[in-house]
Structure 1
């Protein structure tokens, strides 16, 4: 291992203890406002949708209310669609793509599905533009029993009554340049492992469930998003972020085994979206539009099949 490239917290080869986590936390600063950018965007939606507070994060001295948005024509005989964003708080279009979907497209599905949208699962991380929560825990590896992440636990509690009724779950994410420059090195340091450099894909792709891959569903989403922004090509090894490309823009993970948000229900149709906001070929507007297009395509496919 090249120690000169090691993350500036911790000792190479040794997992972090409480002292290292405290030092990491001391380096985190608020860079944007959940109240001003997310809660303020939710407020106007109350005129057309039900907005529920499904939990509250107590990260003293701050507290963060957690909101979910539901359509008012909720019926027991309709399938449920779950949309989640901001599980990784730094992935901006996950949050604002979810809100864009509600604002511009959710009404199109009234009386056809029950919609439940949690646009910002990790507000502390949203404000600090970070992948982890305050305890240096990745919420998107924590969707499991006795979760160490309160963000994940709150969402699981919200979804639990609907777990068997969800037909579609779309979890909105980004892959960014900082994954390689900050977050993967930090992960390796936290775990006491060597950092192995990787390659950031340029473009949109989706991650299906390797235990329930649904290839036609995944490809329908990619086809719809291709009209909005470009699709990530496979690298020279035929992979995206180390996983084999099974179709253009499609890879698979064992989502439940990994504790990913995409495994929080037993939905037939599940996908994790990944846009690339750092591409010179994509704007923030395109990224938000791509996320909303992915949600629409997912619902459309499920309803047609």
Structure 2
């Protein structure tokens, strides 16, 4: 058996300090533009949506030039009292491309189908620094999708939590929240080894599911909601099968393509609204059976199915 290679930063068995985090930052290369890909697309939708600035992410230290990223959301115009409200989030992990572009495409091409039936708040790119670097973590080597908790150390997570709290105080609760993600080969080649190195632990290799799956809430399971999304996405791309333990990424499969996590306890984005219907999507863009375009289409199909379900549930 081949030994597991060590991550190139840090000392095995010792958690990272400031020096190691700075080494990690030095490896992150800007590869695309949040302003061009996301903010420009949002700006083009001003005639159809309210564009809602909700803060900015700002990063700098003694070794890095300051960077500022405006945070923007799209809100149904007009917001209509009495209709069910749905929150759509993408890009919590910046490297998960189809979540960002799936949220934008839904806003561009499909949201009008629900006019007069549902109110929508769409946040296409929660983590812009990571989007530009095609990274999972933020500048501080924090995973935003474990940081949706009181006193969050992640600027991105704290800003979204504040947006949702303020929005719900003004307009009332959300009926549903769908959070758009990907599982990629780099989860095994880069991210999970980096987590182990950062935390001073031993990396234990896992496997990547081939296909689309959903993460329901252990504390608030909604099987009919999850099934409606699986049915819709199955017409666009393939659903991830269970492994030989009847699991997907170490969690028992409770229905085809569905597992459950403790969303709030883990600080996951899908817990942020406290909505009755919540889910996290996962597509696999590195699959030989799917293209990046199919992954975006799968995200759009998932959002459409989620909103349609909520409209029918009222």
Distance in structure 1 (CA, Å) of the matches to 2:81 and 2:256: 37
Out of 158, 162, 167, the position equivalent to 2:163 is 158
More divergent stretch after superposition (107-116 vs 132-141): 107-116
Aligned to 2:73: 68
Unaligned runs of 5+ in 1: none
Per-residue deviation at 1:161?
3.1
* Distance in 2 between residues matched to 1:100 and 1:224, nearest whole Å: 17
**Structure 1 residue aligned with 2:92, among 63, 87, 91?**
87
TM-score for both structures, normalised by structure 2: 0.95
Q: Counterparts of 2:116 and 2:4 in 1: how far apart (Å)?
A: 58
1:129 aligns with 2:137: no
Deviation at 1:78, TM superposition (A): 1.9
Equivalent of 1:192 in 200, 204, 223: 200
Equivalent in the alignment of 1:21? 21
Q: Distance in 1 between matches of 2:208 and 2:198?
A: 21
Offset at 1:3?
7.0
Question: For 2:261 and 2:281, how far apart are their aligned partners in 1?
Answer: 12
**Distance in 1, Cα, partners of 2:123 & 2:167:** 14
Q: CA deviation at 1:76?
A: 2.4
2:63 maps to none
Post-superposition offset of 1:4: 5.7
2:214 — aligned with what? 206
Match of 1:54 in 2: 54
Query: How far does residue 205 in structure 1 lie from its aligned partner after superposition?
Result: 0.3
- 2: CA distance between counterparts of 1:32 and 1:26? 17
Contact conserved, 1:74 with 1:111, CA < 8 A, in 2?
no
Instruction: Give yes or no for contact 1:3–1:12 (8 Å, CA) kept in 2.
Output: no
- Contact between 1:73 and 1:110, CA under 8 Å: does it hold in 2? no
2 CA distance for matches of 1:36 and 1:104? 19
Which secondary structure state, in structure 2, belongs to the residue aligned with residue 271 of structure 1? strand
Structure-2 separation of matches of 1:102 and 1:38: 12
Shift in Å at residue 21 of structure 1? 0.7
Alignment equivalent of 2:264, drawn from 248, 256, 272: 256
What residue ranges of structure 2 are gaps of 5+ in the alignment?
61-65
RMSD over equivalenced CA pairs, Å: 1.3
Shift in Å, 1:79 = 2.0
User: By how many angstroms is 1:73 displaced?
Assistant: 2.0
CA contact (8 A) 2:84 2:311 kept: no
User: Aligned partners of 2:112, 2:68: CA distance in 1, in Å?
Assistant: 31
Q: 1:102 aligns with which of 84, 107, 112?
A: 107
Distance (Å, rounded) in 2 between the aligned partners of 1:138 and 1:55: 19
CA contact (8 A) 1:73 1:111 kept: no
The answer as to 2:223 corresponding to 1:215 is yes
**Larger deviation: 18-27 or 247-256?**
18-27
SS of residue paired to 1:52: strand
Partner of 1:6: 6
Q: Which residue of 1 aligns with 2:45?
A: 45
**Any idea what SS the aligned residue of 1:169 has?**
strand
User: How far is 1:278 from its partner?
Assistant: 0.5
Scaled by the length of structure 1, the TM-score of the pair is 0.97
Structure 1 residues 182 and 72, CA, compared in 2 at 3 Å: closer, same or farther? Answer: same
